[in-house]
Structure 1
Amino acid sequence: MKKLILVLVVLVAAANTSCAQVLSNKEGNYTEADSLRGSLRPERAFDVQKYHLKLKVEPEKQFISGSNTISFIAEEDLSTIQIDLFDNMKVDSILQNDEVLAFEREHNAVFIELNDAVKADEQGEIQFYYSGKPIVAKNAPWDGGFVWDKDDNGDHWIGVAVQGTGASLWYPNKDHQSDEPEEVQLDIAVPNGLMNVSNGQFLGEKDLGNGFTQWSWKTVNPINNYNVMINIANYEHFSDSYGDLDLDYYVLPYNLEKAKEQFKEVKPMMDCFYEKFGEYPFVEDGFKLIETPYLGMEHQSAVAYGNEYKMGYLGNDLSGTGIGLKWDYIIIHESGHEWYGNSITAKDIADMWIHEGFTSYSEAVYVECRWGKEQALEYLKGTRRGIGNQSPIIGDYGVNSEGSGDMYFKGANLLNTIRSIYNDDELWWKTLKDYTETYKHQLIDTETTENFFNKATEVDLEPIFDQYLRHTNLPKLQFRKQEGKTQARWIADVEDFKMPVDILVNGKEFRITPSDEWDDIEYDIDLKEIEINELEFYIQAGYKK
């Protein structure tokens, strides 16, 4: 999630890149390093099963050291594997069966020669020892790195945010979104008096007798690399539950009472999301909100919270309607990612709209649960002021490239338009929930998403998805009078574009389904009387002169 500068003019201009870390648009100027990160080379033909991180964090030195034990199953016979680690970090040694392995570094990739080749379908394991000063974020979470901060009491307060930049910024891993370890264990040693909070369930703490205490955590669900996280502070902990789901909160001591009040929103959020999306996808790992020295991120089962206990987005409303000030943006948006992004994950970051479009739509879902459909539609319409329509939502595949920041609010308004095309709310909610539960804990692509929503309706959604996702322009609906008849057509980039839309004439609603040719409208209508149902359809409209 990305921060919006809190000046209104800049807010509107920047909103299309505001809600998460989006890589800069390289416009095809890709490097060898981009291909090493973004492509699935033969050296990456393995399925990660487990990461076991054992790290010592030294805040005064801004230094980390330790190891990651990487367990994997080979998909092909492997004698060389690629593990990613930023080149500013030192590789101390890499072991297989207690024997030192040879390796070469190329950009941020480490190519490791296995002493014992791993056959296809067999399990392999290496221990990767490393150390160094990881990159410091200049403005987390909008650029990746560590945040070495101190709280108001002078205690160390440390966080990490690496979405987009890459988890290999701070630990060695197969840094590609198509592969998630089935489980992760983190044994993190921090100076006595501090606590580390990570993903999953707490296993315990251990005084190491050297001025450091080790805090251990473990996930038992698949987790994306960038979600694996450490959060270090002198935290105060309080807890609650939602049915079988543990709710745990870690906040700075002087914010305890504020947090107890602000985090009451979690339960009505769960009421809504359980109803619309299905059960929380990581019940075994629990749900946590953790106060961080940056605005927020969707770290799985350990959601980063830095919204300063304000409603809206740091006290502002991204939609400009006032509706966004009724709820805490960071709680709702980042928790929505537990379903979309953390549970359902795009195989390639070019398809990150699957994370961000659906999660931005979850904001409106929450508004509808609490305050009704009309306000949800008003909120979605308001967010359009942050859409740039300057480049496509989908990025380039295989080169570690995301699409434009329009993936957030344009993605959400596309989903709302699809709902309106369905013209059947019962069917829409069923389809959305079925989609979310069908692909729980799965890695998918845009085509899978398109096909699922397309099969649920008789309307061919393929050209509609294509126009909104792969092209910059909105479809434009034109009207004209020809020989006394009212006609309409679509102007679009997609060939043979056709899409239903609702129009209002003197307050009465009609559905028409124009194509990219001039089609007669059944009703003889004065052009000046036509209005588009803008709350439900995100399009352009005009007259043919």
Structure 2
Amino acid sequence: MIILNKKILLPVLAALCCLSNLDAQVVGGKQENYNRGDTLRGSLRAERSYDVLKYHLQVRVNPEEQFISGSNTITFEAEEQLPVMQIDLFENMKIDSILQQDAFLEYNREYNAVFVHLKQSLKRGEKDSIKVYYSGNPVIAENAPWDGGFVFEKDEEGNPWIAVAVQGTGASLWYPNKDHQSDEPEEVLIEAEVPNGLMNVSNGRFAGKKDLGDGYTRWSWKVSNPINNYNVVLNIGNYVHFRDNYKGLDLDYYVLPYNLEKAKVQFEEVKPMMECFYEKFGEYPFVEDGFKLIETPYLGMEHQSAVAYGNHYLNGYLGSDLSGTGIGLRFDFIIIHESGHEWYGNSLTAKDIADMWIHEGFTAYSEAVYIECRWGKEDALEYLKGTRRGIGNRTTIIGDYGVNSEGSGDMYYKGSNLLNTIRSIYNNDELWWKTLKDYTLTYKHKTIDTQTTEAFFDDATEVDLKPIFDQYLRHTAIPELQFKKEGNTISYRWKTDVENFKMPVDIFVKGKEKRLNPTSTWKKLQEQVSGKNDIEVKESGFYITTTFQE
């Protein structure tokens, strides 16, 4: 997502003080009470015991009436005995009919869930499909991408300019699907009918267009890789297209005509970005579908192979630096951050939205990775340290499971600074980069959870990372390194929520670097120092707080 709340558009100054909202649709923070609607959306009930294989989405968009109509054919395989299947579609959208093998099916609706009674119960392993016809006026986003919905705008020349952004809110806002991150269709065919003279750009490869003879043209796009439901999009406008190539990867760009020359300059950044990310994360995970940047009427989103771009061809985040260091003004934030999601969030996906830090923490870290590739490690560390000013430490990074609950917006930069802390704990950059790349490639095109992530990085080092992950992800406070002076002796320990906490940390004693291994009990510093001015924590490598009692 893009920055936060779902990766702040309110004046940029407000964004700078509210970085914890950082991404596109991450609403941030857990709610105290959940209802049945939350459970229906967030849990994997018996009616969801099927694996989606394919979507064939056909939709007509009427810009004047802000109305959509069409169908989605859902091809699936039963994972257990399946007499009734749950699909999802917002209550305000009308279901016209549901067919299975040309037979009309009965269904009932509860909140945004639709329970479809199949012709006969399917056995485990059986494959079938249903076709859902639907229509309605979809929810309009008041401030995309932070609140989900359709965007119906006009470009500077008065042409309709329409887009979709629904991360967090849910793809069922505008088309029927199994709206849970644990299940992704293996392929999607998107066929969008739009008024003649406009173009629709969706995910995947262009598969042709057809003038329907009634004032509308159908634009077809084919996705050949697993894709998150919320990544499936429409982008409708008076676009012009140009293209480039990076080592055989097609780079396609769709922008408004009056921005073409600016785009040709600004989008040159994609190639050094790809060079960096290929080295650190592995090959672009959707080569078959190509890579696209598409100009949108909102700031940006990580739509798979169809990245939304609305940063007005400025460096930084709308021309400002979220880190406050000046380093963020060297690159176009939206290009780097949203493209980073192709590896983290789109290819490697959290099963439950409660673990969205896997998307946002790693992608926020990708900003620093890009800086390091281009300008060196010290600048990357300075940038990461600067982003800490937006961390609130008021609610936990991980949300509540099974109820469609995202964690705190701290998942962005607290997440990225956690990863940087782990890198420092490794104290071996060769090992760090190998582990990060292995992790990214091991879980390519897979859905995973936090425990899997923790175990992968923990297994690569002799240091026990479990209490470290636990403190940063499941508690609000960061570790506090306490020092106290008693006579000529300095003692130190960790103060944390996690019992028996251990974590190595690097400090400077009278200017000389030293690694400490504090625990929850007091230990004595071997060196003789006169006071706290003789001790300095390596803050660029470790996201902690420090206190000193004299």
Give the superposition deviation at 1:266: 0.1
62, 68, 81: which is aligned to 2:66? 62
Whole-angstrom CA distance in 1 between matches of 2:477 and 2:31? 17
Residue number in structure 1 paired with 2:429: 425
- Contact kept? 1:72, 1:125, Cα under 8 Å: yes
Distance 1:522 1:20, change over 3 A: farther
291, 298, 310: which is aligned to 2:295? 291
**Aligned runs of 1:103-182 on 2, under 5 Å?**
103-182=107-186
Whole-angstrom CA distance in 2 between matches of 1:210 and 1:483? 89
Q: Tell me the alpha carbon deviations over residues 1-48 of structure 1, each in whole angstroms, 9 at most, x when there is no partner.
A: 236256576334311112221135343311111000000010000000
**Aligned runs of 1:146-225 on 2, under 5 Å?**
146-225=150-229
Answer yes or no: is 1:48 the counterpart of 2:52: yes
- Contact kept? 2:488, 2:529, Cα under 8 Å: no
Residue number in structure 2 paired with 1:236: 240
**Aligned runs of 1:87-486 on 2, under 5 Å?**
87-482=91-486, 484-486=488-490
- Contact kept? 1:390, 1:472, Cα under 8 Å: yes
Distance 1:420 1:406, change over 3 A: same
Whole-angstrom CA distance in 1 between matches of 2:537 and 2:263? 43
Whole-angstrom CA distance in 2 between matches of 1:393 and 1:82? 29
Q: Tell me the alpha carbon deviations over residues 387-425 of structure 1, each in whole angstroms, 9 at most, x when there is no partner.
A: 000000000000000000000000000000000000011
**How high is the TM-score relative to the length of structure 1?**
0.99
Residue number in structure 2 paired with 1:19: 23
Q: Tell me the alpha carbon deviations over residues 366-391 of structure 1, each in whole angstroms, 9 at most, x when there is no partner.
A: 00000000000000000000000000
Whole-angstrom CA distance in 2 between matches of 1:524 and 1:374? 30
Whole-angstrom CA distance in 2 between matches of 1:200 and 1:109? 28
Residue number in structure 2 paired with 1:543: 548
Which residue identity lines up with residue 532 of structure 1 in the other structure? V
Whole-angstrom CA distance in 1 between matches of 2:263 and 2:239? 12
Give the superposition deviation at 1:543: 1.2
Comparing 12-21 and 132-141, the one that deviates more: 12-21
- Contact kept? 2:350, 2:356, Cα under 8 Å: yes
Residue number in structure 2 paired with 1:84: 88
Comparing 187-196 and 116-125, the one that deviates more: 116-125
Give the superposition deviation at 1:119: 1.1
497, 501, 508: which is aligned to 2:501? 497
- Contact kept? 1:202, 1:218, Cα under 8 Å: yes
Whole-angstrom CA distance in 2 between matches of 1:353 and 1:220? 26
Unaligned runs of 5+ residues in structure 2 are none
CA root-mean-square deviation: 1.1
Whole-angstrom CA distance in 1 between matches of 2:70 and 2:15? 42
Which residue identity lines up with residue 205 of structure 1 in the other structure? K
Comparing 524-533 and 289-298, the one that deviates more: 524-533
Residue number in structure 2 paired with 1:487: 491
- Over the matched positions of the two proteins, sequence identity in percent amounts to 70
Answer yes or no: is 1:510 the counterpart of 2:509: no
Which residue identity lines up with residue 56 of structure 1 in the other structure? R
Which residue identity lines up with residue 29 of structure 1 in the other structure? N
- Contact kept? 2:21, 2:28, Cα under 8 Å: no
24, 37, 40: which is aligned to 1:33? 37
Whole-angstrom CA distance in 2 between matches of 1:160 and 1:9? 26
| Secondary structure of 1:516 counterpart | coil
Unaligned runs of 5+ residues in structure 1 are none
Whole-angstrom CA distance in 2 between matches of 1:349 and 1:6? 25
- Contact kept? 2:29, 2:395, Cα under 8 Å: no
Whole-angstrom CA distance in 1 between matches of 2:96 and 2:146? 30
Matched residue pairs, number? 545
Give the superposition deviation at 1:486: 1.8
- Contact kept? 1:479, 1:527, Cα under 8 Å: no
Give the superposition deviation at 1:521: 1.9
